[in-house]
Structure 1
Amino acid sequence: MQDCAAEMSPGRSDWEDRRLFVRIRVSMFASVAISAAIFVASAVALSLLVAAYDRHGTVTLELERARVLGERVGIEAVRLQRAGSPEHRVIILGRLQGLYARFHGKAETALGDLRAVSHPALIAALDDGPRPVRALLDEIAAQMAVLGAAPATAATRAASRRLRLLTQRELSDRMGALIDIERGRAEQLAGNIRGAGLALGLGALLLLLAQWLWSCRPVLREVEARTEALLEANSRVERSLLFDGLTNLPNRRNLQESLARIAPGAPLGLLHIDLAGFHAINTTLGREAGDQLLRYAAESLGEIAMTADILARTGTDEFVLVTGRRTDPEQLQELAVEIIEQLAQPVEIDGHQVSLEAVIGIAARSAPGEDPEKLLANADIARARAREEGGSVYFSVGMRERLAARRQTAQELLQALVRDEIEPFFQPQIEAASGRITGVEALARWRHPERGVLNPHFFLDIAEQAHLGHRITLVMIRKSLEALAAWRAQGLEVPRVSINFGARELRSPELADILAFDLERVGLAPRDLAIEVLESALIEDETDPILANVAALSRAGHHIDLDDFGTGHAALSYLRHLSVDRLKIDRSFIRDLHLRPELRKMTQAMIHLAKALDISAMAEGIESQNEWRLLIEMGCDDLQGFVIGKPMPAAALPGWIAEHEGRRSAGRLIAAA
């Protein structure tokens, strides 16, 4: 589809279509006009020729009839000469006069038609020769007058003989010659008609051939070319509906159709592969590098897959491998390990050495007839569990129940946001040397209507997966700043409130504006809000937007804490890029600090590092007086933990502060704890 769009822009395509339709209409109009002109011309020419042919035929017929009638006049004249009685003569004479009248009419008509033609051969035949035809007709009329006026005498007998001679010889010969001329002309016209018909037909054929060569054929070729282009584009569209354009692998729709064609009783195993670290690489190196990495992953998976296996790309960084030969749990687990190890091999992308961390959900058909779509869903559930645990996870029924519970929790959490059930609990932070309160950390709690107050580990991961984490962060900012403003209105000295921000919020270009708005709304300054940056949310890359955003927040006056320090994969490197005010040493280094020398050494080293960088060090998760005392001896700046104060609602903090300040003024903080 993209290729088709690239080859043919909408404007150019519309213009070409209009041009093609105009050519088709012009070609059709020209064809109709030429055909009509040929038909009319042919009809007119042939009708004129046929009319002339018919006219000559009519004249020929009239001449033939006149000649026959003239011969009959001669025959009757002979009979009149031989008549024995007056009565017999009267009868023959009457018949003779009737024949003569008919003969004379036919002859005059035929001669008039012949003279109207004005053909030289006819005029010569009429007027030339021993005697003109008109003279013969006049003499015949004179002889008829003699026969009609006188009784049977020598004169009438001579007239009869002369009349027979005229009609049966001289006039018959002259009229025969006229008939021959007319027949010749008629035959010539018939030949002309045939020639004209053939010429018109040949001309029409040539015109149609020219129309085909110069108009129809180019249009048809263009129509054919456009049709082929449309078919090719349609083929590309159909392929784009079934194949992934980046990796050329089948897409989800194609995979579903392929699964539907698998026999119900055939063994089947599915591996849902998720490239867990892809989004971070795509963000830092750019989309083009991400595309190269996805193509590399597709090629690597294609090398591992067997010929009969189905490999499809079903999401941005997700692939599904369907196999019918390796369906035992052990075989599928071995295949998953092979895929994970293959993708973990470093590969160079745009000058960077990167590797992919793959997590895989596995499912297999446990009984004949089990729906492949259900297997696909089971593998997806196992993949979600693998994202939490790492590596590969084989599907079990309990995972489906756990997923249903998580979905139910996500729905309830959405309702909790609507009902305003999310609120911050505050854990005090104090200065190690003096016990003076330095701030409070806001920790999210959910006041569940049935299960009571829930800690973050019950719902924060679910909130992130349900894309509700940002909304919870906004609630925490608003309510924490309102609580701080309320405490100060009561005269309590709480220097600042700390809020944890995840990677998604820290990359948001709107974070600074949101914080500025909420601070101004309650009348607080940026120094009153500490930004806690989880080290696990950072990526060792100077182009990461988090670094720029945190630096901007520091310049605006916010206090920056690097939380869970020591647990990241490159903790020291961030201190070069971030304007950190305080390191928060992770509780994993504090627990049993007084019992484990190696922990004391690592903790002491982190405290020394902070002092060398002229920043504060805070220990979190302090749960015993021994840990408290030891951290004071190590020179730790700030402390936080259950032994100092547990997380509490905003309304309980004034009471805790009063009690803490009383113990502090009496010099018995640790003893009281």
Structure 2
Amino acid sequence: MFERFSRLLSPLRIMLGRSASAAPVEGSRSLLLLRLENAEPLADHLGKAAMGHLVVRLSMTLSRATRPEDPVQIIAPGLFAVLLSGRDDLDAIGVARRLLDQAQTPIAVSGRDILPVLTGVLIHAEGAPLPDLAEMTENARQRFETLTDDALGRVTLFPYDPALTTGGRGASVAEAAAAGQIQAYFQPQVCCNTGAVRGFELLARWNHPERGLLLPGAFFGRMSVEDHGALTLAILDQGLRALKAWDRAGWDVPCVALNISNCELANPDFAAGILWELDRHDLRPERLTIEVLETVGPITSNAEARRNLMALARAGCHIDLDDFGTGYASLDAIRQFGVQRIKIDRSFVTGCDIDPAQQRMILAILALAERLGIAALAEGVETREEYTFLAQMGCDEVQGHAIARPMPLEEVAAYLARQAANGRSIGRLLG
């Protein structure tokens, strides 16, 4: 995800470089990122040419509302960047909100009035070098994805943190894991038919002693192989301990799911280490699901990655293909690694209740899963309507904010109790 977004930032770095060489500014700088939230349905409704016209009109609207020294750049379709110089944080957030308000007014395109809906992320810095400010935007996509629903149509301010750039001197993720600062958050994966929890995906958070709770987007971009390994072990240990605690409390939670990077799979000792952890916690391998990107297939992955996955599958661990539909999908990978579930990427789920193109993709993936005899889980389910469509079309499981947001361990028992009290009814859970 972050590598794909990084490639989109080259126009932004060019913009920042020109700004630095043309008119260096001392003091405060802020980088405003605006995303057109209804870009996909608008593109389907308007067509490619009219959508391009809309994006240009939005850029012109933003440019007219800023000073000449505050350049506006289109860094991806529907994603705009505005560099604000010489303003403190309060002034910058005020300007950002004014720009957002002006951009969210009807625009005439192809004889129709179109209402854009945008969400903003503002990164504010006091005297930060422009290259460092550009690097901070590597986390912007993750920040957009983790904004709460009430952030739609608003701007959220994130303070600049030099320790989160490669030039910073902050602690590494491995050091944070050793200090007990890495915390697992749990997001339920729920059966569409019964509402029963099929498992929890383990998600990483960094409880930084000075900067508070950091989302993965704030530190994934600068992680080394050692960091990845330390993070995985810390999260896995917490997840397995949670399973034991739920077993003792009588909760029926079959497994936890852990996302594994390709660099970890290339470690010859990876599978042995995972199985040792399971044995140490006295848990059967089927209590752990390993989530890997679909690009880990036999053609695109190295020999060690294939050996590790096959060893884990033979031992009994479940294997998921994550972000299914966004990369190179290898049916041979499903066969060789004994994949038991595919996770439909959120890009296909968003708007699936109203978008015919999304619906066709969802139906094709579900048909493929049924023919292969494997389960399908839709991730990123944000609304009751999306869930209803997925359930009606025969999707096995769902995961997303419409079901439950990621939560710390201490909140899981209360969630399970509410679920049991509601009779495992998804309809009531969503209400």
Bucket of the pairwise TM-score, normalised by the shorter protein: 0.5 to 0.7
Correspondence for 1:291:
none
User: In structure 2, the residue corresponding to 1:595 is in which secondary structure?
Assistant: coil
Residue 548 in structure 1 maps to residue 307 in structure 2: yes
- Deviation track 1:543-572 (CA, whole Å, cap 9, x = no partner) reads 643222211211100011111100113444
Matches within 5 A, 1:633-648: 633-648=392-407
CA gap 1:401/1:435 in 2 versus in 1, 3 angstroms: closer
Structure 1 CA distance for aligned equivalents of residues 338 and 292 of structure 2: 11
Aligned residue for 2:198? 438
Which sections of structure 2, spanning at least 5 residues, go unmatched?
4-13, 23-74, 77-127, 136-161
1:169-203, CA deviations, whole angstroms, 9 ceiling, x for partnerless residues? xxxxxxxxxxxxxxxxxxxxxxxxxxxxxxxxxxx
Aligned match of 2:84: none
Q: What's the counterpart of residue 346 of structure 2?
A: 587
Shift of 1:450: 2.9
Q: Do the aligned residues in 2 keep the contact of 1:410 with 1:462 (CA within 8 Å)?
A: no
Aligned pair in 2 of structure 1 residues 366, 635: CA closer, same or farther (>3 Å)? closer
Which residue does the alignment assign to 2:141? Answer: none
Aligned equivalent of 1:232: none
Q: Is the 8 A contact 2:295 2:301 kept in 1?
A: no
Residue 514 (str. 1) matches residue 256 (str. 2) = no
CA contact (8 A) 1:502 1:533 kept: yes
- In the TM superposition, residue 410 of structure 1 has moved relative to its aligned partner by 4.8
Q: Does the C-alpha gap of structure 1 residues 420 and 668 become closer, same or farther in structure 2, counting only changes over 3 Å?
A: closer
Q: Is the 8 A contact 2:207 2:213 kept in 1?
A: yes
Q: Does 1:629 align with 2:361?
A: no
How far has the Cα of 1:523 moved from its partner? 1.3
Letter in 2 for 1:634: M
1: CA distance between counterparts of 2:326 and 2:365? 12
- Going from structure 1 to structure 2, the CA distance change for 1:480 and 1:397 (only over 3 Å counts) comes to same
Q: Residue 440 of structure 1 contacts residue 496 of structure 1 at CA under 8 Å; is this kept in 2? A: yes
Q: CA–CA distance in 2 between the matches of 1:437 and 1:619?
A: 14
Specify the SS of the correspondent of 1:493: coil
The aligned runs of 1:412-491 (5 Å cut-off) are 413-464=173-224, 467-491=226-250
The match for 2:327 is 568
User: Which one-letter code corresponds to 1:435 in the other structure?
Assistant: G
Opposite residue 203 of structure 2, the aligned amino acid is L
Name the counterpart of 1:558.
317
Asked whether the equivalents of residues 172 and 227 of structure 2 are also in contact (C-alpha less than 8 Å), the reply is: no
Given that 2:325 and 2:344 are in contact with CA atoms closer than 8 Å, whether structure 1 keeps it comes out as yes
| Residue 156 (structure 2) pairs with residue 398 (structure 1) | no
CA offsets 1:388-407 (integer angstroms, 9 cap, x no match): 99xxxxxx951145565413
Q: Residue 369 of structure 2 aligns with which residue?
A: 610
Number of residues of Structure 1 aligned to a counterpart in Structure 2: 289
Contact 1:663 1:669 in 2 (8 A): no
1:451 to partner: Cα distance: 2.8
Paired letter, 2:262? A
Does structure 2 conserve the Cα–Cα contact (< 8 Å) formed by 1:430 and 1:436?
yes
1:330 corresponds in structure 2 to none
Secondary structure of the corresponding residue to residue 575 of structure 1? helix
Asked if residue 411 in structure 1 is aligned to residue 171 in structure 2, the reply is yes
Q: Percent identity?
A: 36
Q: Distance in 2 between matches of 1:490 and 1:671?
A: 22
Which residues of 2 match residues 96-111 of structure 1 at below 5 A?
none
Deviation at 1:409, TM superposition (A): 6.7
TM-score (norm 1): 0.40
The aligned amino acid for 1:455 is L
Higher strand share: 2
Deviation at 1:452, TM superposition (A): 2.2
Match of 2:55 in 1: none
Local SS of the residue matching 2:206: strand
1:308-365 CA deviation, whole Å, 9 max, x = no partner? xxxxxxxxxxxxxxxxxxxxxxxxx9xxxxxxxxxxxxxxxxxxxxxxxxxxxx99x9
- Cross-structure match for 2:292: 533
- CA distance in structure 1 between the aligned counterparts of 2:371 and 2:134, rounded to whole angstroms: 48
Q: Distance in 1 between matches of 2:420 and 2:346?
A: 25
Contact 1:561 1:580 in 2 (8 A): yes
Residue in structure 2 matched with residue 598 of structure 1 by the alignment? 357
Question: Alpha carbons of 1:410 and 1:461: their partners in 2 closer, same or farther (altered >3 Å)?
Answer: farther
Q: Secondary structure of 1:646's match?
A: coil
Change (3 A) 1:418 1:612: same
CA contact (8 A) 1:422 1:445 kept: yes
Deviations along 1:12-62, one digit per CA (max 9) or x if unpaired, are xxxxxxxxxxxxxxxxxxxxxxxxxxxxxxxxxxxxxxxxxxxxxxxxxxx
Q: Which has the larger radius of gyration?
A: 1
Partner of 2:150: none
Q: What is the DSSP-based 3-state SS (H/G/I as helix, E as strand, rest coil) of the residue aligned with 2:373? A: coil
**Higher normalized helix content (fraction of residues):** 1
Matches within 5 A, 1:164-179: none
CA distance in 1, matches of 2:194, 2:291: 23
1:366, distance to aligned residue in structure 2 (A): 6.8
Cα-to-partner distance string for 1:211-253 (whole Å, 9 max, x where unaligned):
xxxxxxxxxxxxxxxxxxxxxxxxxxxxxxxxxxxxxxxxxxx
Please report how far the alpha carbon of residue 588 of structure 1 lies from its aligned counterpart in structure 2 after TM superposition. Answer: 0.7
Please, which moves more after superposition, 534-543 or 602-611? 534-543
Q: Relative to 1, partners in 2 of residues 1:551 and 1:463: Cα closer, same or farther, differing over 3 Å?
A: same
Contact 1:431 1:638 in 2 (8 A): yes
Whether contact under 8 Å (1:427, 1:640) holds in the other structure is yes
**How far apart are the structure 1 equivalents of 2:426 and 2:314?**
39
Unaligned runs of 5+ in 1: 1-275, 277-332, 334-361, 368-387, 390-395
* Deviation of the 1:668 alpha carbon: 6.3
- Checking the alignment, whether the CA contact within 8 Å between 2:182 and 2:206 is kept in structure 1 is yes
1:652 Cα offset (Å): 1.1
